[in-house]
Every structure is written in structure tokens, then in C-alpha cells.
Structure 1
Amino acid sequence: MDYRIKERAGFSPKIGELVSMLDYTRAVTLADVEGLSIEQLDHLADGHSNSIGALLMHIAAIEFVHQIIAFENRDLTEQELEQWLVPLELGDKARSEIRGHSLDYYLDELKKVRDHTLSLMESVDDSWLYEEGQYDNGVTYNKYYLWFHVVEDETSHRGQIRILKRMVEK
């Protein structure tokens, strides 16, 4: 694992640094879930918690949504919502629907989304990070913030994954 934030070949300088952060964040997440069984991925600590599997799908869903917002400047289509709404919202539906998958299933979903993110990021330059948009509620953001949030969200949920993993291992 590389503990340096640095430019990456194939990307403009700041985009490369952002990719470096995304890569590090993902590498730690993958190390934390390595070897988990379906039973461990599906474990629910109580009636209100999310499973590790659901949290992994949520991480993929957040990144997918941010691809759409950042690169296409739009909301999700009905078809995209159908695919991603449950892992985005988590909760009761996720507890019942996101179950029974192997770790490879979740890793494949994360990889597909990340590979697409990286291909999209190859096509933009540093000035793109500072382009602004506005949420429906009137709050302004820039694209740099959107991708910071992807890192922040994964890091936050990785903390939950670590707690759940300790509970399952006892």
C-alpha cells in the first residue's frame, strides 16, 4: 500500500491526487473485508443496523450517483433509481434485499463502478474540479467536493464495517 498522495500518470495533477486518495481509501476497505464469508457479510447486529454487504453496496451506489452528478450534471433515471435506491437509502429494504452474495459479488460491483470513475476522470482536467453546481435545495457545490464526499462516505462506512466485523468475529 502506498501512503503518499501524489499525481498519477494519465490524469491531470490534481485529478491524479484525487485518484490517489480514492485508491488508498479503497485499498484499506478491501483489506478490511478480505476473506469475509456470506454469513459475515449478511450479519445484522440488530434490527436497525446495516450488514457489511449492504454497506459495501452503499459505497458503490454513492460513487455511482456522484459519477452521474459530476460528469452528466443530472439526477438518476428511473432505471438507475431502481438499481441503486435500496443500497443508497439502506434501512429495512436493504436489510431484507441485500443478502446472500459472496464477497466477490460486492468486490465486482465496487470494481465496475470504480473502473468507470477512473475512465471518466481521464477525460477531465484540474479546472473541472472547481466547476459548480447546485442541489435542488439551492446549496452550491463544486465537483471537488463531490469526490471528497465519495472518499469521506467510504471512510465513514468503513468504520461501521470494522465495528460489525469485530462483532461477528466474537
Structure 2
Amino acid sequence: MIDYRIKNAGDYAQKIGELVSMLEHTRAVTLEEIKDLSEEDLDSVADETSNTIGALLHHIASIEYVHQVISFEGRDINEAEMEQWKTALELGPEARKIICENPVSYYMNELAKVREKTLLKFKVINDDWLFEEKKWGNGVPHNNYYLWFHVMEDEINHRGQIRMLKRMLSGSK
């Protein structure tokens, strides 16, 4: 059941727990949205330029993975990681060709594996970590709180696209 309260989601520092609560709520709504989709639904495209629902789900996992590396390890992804996640990160024509022919359980498992690592890392940090300031290569400051807000907003944005694609699919059946 989806929890509609923002509260400390467990054995976390106060603000980290609240962030986890929001991330987990966002994920629960996404999973509810996709749970009954067929492989055909996951691989369908609205037009020749749109992404599939499956590719968007894999993208959500890839964004979280990249933000784990940036925020927890203090680095950008390396070549091997880029090779693994590039198609999902970039989406587009390549993703339509490569990210396909998977059941919904595949995408749910990918999302769960990445999230499990996030939750483990959040257990061992404190609220001060959220506010640690860093700078992008171009000198623009950011903090870890922003990075994880971005993970959440990216998933919500793509869930909106998934809902739109589902409506378009149901109209064409």
C-alpha cells in the first residue's frame, strides 16, 4: 500500500529519512503505474521519435545509479559504467532498439536493485551530508540534497511521460 505521509522512513537521520520517504513514495506510485503492463506495452512507441515505457524505466534506474556514484563516491561514472548505462541515460533511437523484449518484472527488478544500494548508503550518512557543497566543472555550486531531489523529479517527469504513453496505447487498441 502506498503511504501518503512524509515522515522518517526508518532507521535514518531525520532529513535523510524524510528524503527516503519521498523517494519511496515516488517509486511506489511509479510501480503501481506499470505493474500490469505487457511486454508489448513496454516496447510500443507513440511515434518514431518517442521513447518506450521500458526505456524510460531503465533511464530512471540509470539516473539513480549515476547519482549514487556522484554523491556517494564523489566522482563521475567511469568508462565501464558508461558502457553499461549509456543507452538508458541517453534514450532515443538506440534505446528503442536495445532496451526491449523484457517483461515488466525485469524493469521492476532493475529499479529495486539500484534503490537497494541507495537505501543502504543512506543508512550510514547523516543529515549534514545533504548540505555538503560541491561545484560542477563549470563552477556552479550544488549539494547532495539537490542531487537526490533531481533523482526524484526525474522519475516523476518520466512517470508523466509513461502515463501519456499508456493513454496513447489504450486509444490505439
Mapping of residues 9-28 of structure 1, within 5 Å: 9-28=10-29
Divergent runs of 4+, >6 A: none
Mapping of residues 121-160 of structure 1, within 5 Å: 121-160=122-161
What is the alpha-carbon distance in structure 2 between the residues aligned to residue 127 and residue 15 of structure 1? Answer: 9
What is the alpha-carbon distance in structure 1 between the residues aligned to residue 88 and residue 139 of structure 2? Answer: 25
Percent identity between the aligned chains? 57
Aligned pair count reads 170
1:82 aligned partner: 83
> 1:3 aligns to what SS in structure 2?
coil
Give me the CA root mean square deviation. 0.7
Letter in 1 for 2:105: D
1:6 aligned partner: 7
What is the TM-score normalised by the length of structure 2? Answer: 0.97
> 1:133 aligns to what SS in structure 2?
strand
2:36 aligned partner: 35
What is the alpha-carbon distance in structure 2 between the residues aligned to residue 87 and residue 117 of structure 1? Answer: 19
What is the TM-score normalised by the length of structure 1? Answer: 0.98
String of CA shifts for 1:27-60, please: whole Å, max 9, x gaps: 0000100110000000011111000000000000
String of CA shifts for 1:107-138, please: whole Å, max 9, x gaps: 00000000000000001000000001222222
Letter in 2 for 1:13: Q
Unaligned runs of 5+ in 2: none
